[in-house]
Amino acid sequence: MAGGAEPPQPAPGTKAILWVHTKNQVATIAARHDGQQELRVFVGDESLGWSMHASKTGSILAVVEASSQIGLADGSVGMGFIFRSGGYATYVAITPDGIVPFGQLEFREDKNITVRDGAYTFADIRQPDGMLVPVSVKLRKVSTQAADGHKP
């Protein structure tokens, strides 16, 4: 629902994200694929991301939700997000010393979701200096490393 409106529906058989909706620090994502694509959530550019792959043709429904209960290496819990799809979940911590840029995760209102080159940007990490790092989702061809339904 980028820009606050329902996007045009792709032709049957088309591989595409159908819509992204945000509410209460949760993004819900619907996509259609042919078994050769994975749904990838990424921070910044696509080099830092997490993918889910469904081996059967059809629809994908995924959720990205903010969490303050992400397990950390030292046994404590911290801030981050959970990416869920097809019975799998990936927990992503946002910590000062982690690989993800540190800051406050802020989900955009539907009307502020942007679409560029097939990537839907639905949230940002607001760093302490005020800089925003986008959080996006994209459907892409399955990488050769994807195995048994998901990959980190």
3-class DSSP state of 74: coil
Q: What is the pLDDT of residue 59?
A: 84
Please tell me the predicted confidence (pLDDT) of residue 101. Answer: 96
pLDDT attached to residue 150: 42
Residue 70's DSSP bridge partners are 78
- And the tokens for 107? 């989900």
- Pair of tokens at residue 97: 């010393």
pLDDT for 58 equals: 77
Q: Quick one: pLDDT at residue 147?
A: 41
Nearest to 123 by CA among 6, 23, 31, 48: 23
Angle in degrees, CA 135, 147, 99, rounded to 5: 35
Across the chain, which has 152 residues, the per-10-residue mean pLDDT values are: 47 75 96 83 94 76 96 94 93 95 97 95 98 95 54 42
pLDDT of residue 33: 80
pLDDT of residue 34: 77
Q: pLDDT at position 55, please?
A: 63
Rounded to an integer, what distance in angstroms lies between the CA atom of residue 31 and that of residue 64? 14
Domain residue ranges of the chain, discontinuous segments joined by + = 2-146
Other CB atoms within 10 Å distance of the CB of residue 56: 10
Report pLDDT for 29: 96
Give yes or no for a contact between 31 and 7, defined as CB atoms under 8 angstroms apart. no
